Structure 1
Amino acid sequence: MRTANSGIVEIEGNEIAVTHPDKWLWPELEINKFVYLQKLVLLAPYLMRYCQDRYLTTIRFPDGIHGKSFYQKNAPKPLPPYVHTAEKEGIHYINLDSLSTLIWLGNLAAVEFHPSFERIGGQAPAEWVLDIDPSVEDEPRLMEAVAIIGETLHSLGIQSVPKTSGATGVQIIIPITEGHTFAQLKKIGGFVSKYLVERNPQLFTIERLKKNRGTRIYIDYVQHALGKSLSAPYTPRARQQATVSTPLFWQEVEHNISPHAFNLWTIEERLAKHGDLISQVQKQDLNPIIDRIRT
């Protein structure tokens, strides 16, 4: 890639025009579009694993993270021939199935990547996710709360991986085998969440209205549903610190690691050292737990 006013890069045999490579996207961390595209190449094997064959929503920041932004579900036109789409309910979503598509999106200043919970053409969940959302911006109890949830899941025989959202919260991801439904996972989520609220009423809540939560930490098990989406593992976020949504070790949670510890400058070393922590957890059959809750 060239840092002239514009340039052409060749990826997978496709020529992609790069416009305004010197435009600042994260000015505080000196990340312009040229640097961002380089970072996307690094993130591609990890980010695409959780976006490919999903209905993708992106958030675009044409003038950098401090400028105006917009959500994009419908694929913009015209589309290059290497960009594939999938139609659902009249919307033509982009399928992030190639590095060429990722770099093309990066050139459009797509900064955040939010895939659907279901795969294209299906109605079953690809994984189970609990979204842990603090009610205040800098919540000192966040990692303590996440650790308690992890211990509760472990007591049920459920292996899970926490990941920073890259914003203020944490998501807990549970890889699952095929055959589960969103309704079943919502039932488990409700069971676990209500138990945690009963045990820790000053720490947790399942109140959806933020104005009614006070300072309690919201366990969102409802967001995990057909047609919904969430920030992907390894997506960058439009935050001043250029944070990246990053899977964690449970030991890191117990040691109160900062949700802002990983960004576009630091993520390379972590991935080289640890790889993708989510893919290292075996997919689980939750049907025995579902049957126990049903009885």
Structure 2
Amino acid sequence: MASAATEVDVDGVAVRLTNPDKPYFPKLRKDGTKGKLVDYYLAVAEPMVTLLRDRPVHLQRFPDGIDGEEIYQKRVPQKHPDYLETCTVTFPSGRTADALKITHPSAIIWAAQMGTVTLHPWQVRCPDTEHPDELRIDLDPQPGTGFAEAAEVATGVLKPLLDELGLVGYPKTSGGRGVHVFVRIATDWDFIAVRRAGIALAREIERRAPDAVTTSWWKEERGTRIFVDYNQNARDRTFASAYSARKTPIATVSTPLSWADLGDAEPDDYTILTVPDLVASRADPWAGIDDDVQSIAPLLDMVAADEERGLGDLPYPPSYPKMPGEPPRVQPSKKVAEHWDEHGNRVND
């Protein structure tokens, strides 16, 4: 039987909560209900809103818990509470949508009420949705590697490289096996330039640790290495937000850490049951992120240097239109040279 609906006061806004006893994380039993997820988001709302303020956000929803149907929602329903705000975003196809804009903790609690486990923000702030204010680095473990290897690349290769470039990065666990690092940047560049900057950074990480790191878009070429997913800087590619819960049996959380803590971290230690006490008891490792509005000019210099070496763009995800200068989007093992021209366009047989 469904539990009774209640109202939650969220900084002066009444948010309706239905079925708070519904199991969302069955392994956690009474600590894994919808109500407990809402309690978690209430506990971390302050730092979350600071990081998400004015960002368009997509919602990864599991209305019947993580073992049920997954809904990845990009649009706010036409009928929604008056306290919600929206922001128009443009997808690679050219279509637009009114996405949820985070301006108040009530938006996060409403999202949880709708079955949202993970919030996925864009790397822009409204109303300027054409110029990213974050460069995002995704260290994604491939089969045979895990969090320890990703953290080693982050602390041993990426951090020294950022130091050399005069850039400050802010790391977090992905909530899974990966590591995310955000670099706050000035909004002087569009998605194409920021993505190319991310490619240049990824290539330099790979050059410094070729046995541990790969930038290959094609899984068949990655091997047992950490993939630097440069395409996370493309339009409409989103990360789990800082402090978002994830679809894991123990409700892990994508948790901001200091560089010192990252090296010894165990991602399963950070869950909806443990992170509130952590946030309450420590200094915020991301407290200065909005003060570090940085230039990607050093990375664009690296783009130019790569182009002189003959290294141009890399493939976009398959859902994107063909981009100028992009190489062929075909697996190397399936590519037949005579079927492609020098611009990466397929030639008719």
TM over 0.5: yes
Residue 107 of structure 2: which of 101, 111, 123 is its match? 101
TM-score by length of 2: 0.77
| TM superposition outliers: structure 1 runs of 4+ over 4 Å | none
Q: Counterparts in 2 of 1:187-266, with a 5 A limit?
A: 187-255=196-264, 257-266=265-274
Contact 1:50–1:115, Cα closer than 8 Å, also in 2: no
- Could you tell which deviates more after superposition, 171-180 or 243-252? 171-180
Gaps of 5+ in 1: none
CA pair 189-17 structure 1, distance change in 2 beyond 3 A: closer
Q: What SS does structure 2 have at the residue aligned with 1:239?
A: coil
Q: What SS does structure 2 have at the residue aligned with 1:15?
A: strand
Structure richer in strand, relative to its length:
1
Q: What is the identity, as a one-letter code, of the residue corresponding to 1:280?
A: G
CA pair 176-217 structure 1, distance change in 2 beyond 3 A: same
Contact 2:145–2:226, Cα closer than 8 Å, also in 1: no
Partner of 2:18: 19
Partner of 1:57: 58
Contact 2:145–2:225, Cα closer than 8 Å, also in 1: no
Q: Counterparts in 2 of 1:20-169, with a 5 A limit?
A: 20-29=19-28, 30-88=31-89, 89-122=95-128, 123-136=130-143, 139=146, 140-147=148-155, 148-169=157-178
Q: Deviations over 1:39-72 (max 9, x none)?
A: 1111111122232312210011111111111101
Q: What is the identity, as a one-letter code, of the residue corresponding to 1:203?
A: A
- Could you tell which deviates more after superposition, 23-32 or 3-12? 3-12
| Cα drift, residue 110 of structure 1 | 0.7
- Could you tell which deviates more after superposition, 4-13 or 33-42? 4-13
Q: What SS does structure 1 have at the residue aligned with 2:122?
A: strand
The count of aligned residue pairs is 292
Partner of 2:331: none
Contact 1:177–1:285, Cα closer than 8 Å, also in 2: yes
Q: What SS does structure 1 have at the residue aligned with 2:110?
A: helix
Give the whole-Å Cα distance in 2 for the aligned partners of 1:93 and 1:77.
11
Q: Deviations over 1:84-123 (max 9, x none)?
A: 2223333121112222222222111111000111122311
Partner of 1:273: 281
| Cα drift, residue 200 of structure 1 | 1.9
| Cα drift, residue 138 of structure 1 | 5.5
Contact 2:185–2:296, Cα closer than 8 Å, also in 1: no
Q: What is the identity, as a one-letter code, of the residue corresponding to 2:102?
A: L
Percent of matched pairs sharing the same residue: 27
CA pair 161-267 structure 1, distance change in 2 beyond 3 A: same
CA pair 286-77 structure 1, distance change in 2 beyond 3 A: closer
Give the whole-Å Cα distance in 1 for the aligned partners of 2:154 and 2:272.
24
Larger radius of gyration: 2
Q: What is the identity, as a one-letter code, of the residue corresponding to 1:16?
A: V
Q: What is the identity, as a one-letter code, of the residue corresponding to 1:278?
A: W
Give the whole-Å Cα distance in 2 for the aligned partners of 1:238 and 1:67.
11
CA pair 187-82 structure 1, distance change in 2 beyond 3 A: same
Contact 2:58–2:99, Cα closer than 8 Å, also in 1: yes
Tell which has more relative contact order, 1 or 2 (C-alpha 8 A, sep 6+).
1
| Cα drift, residue 79 of structure 1 | 0.7
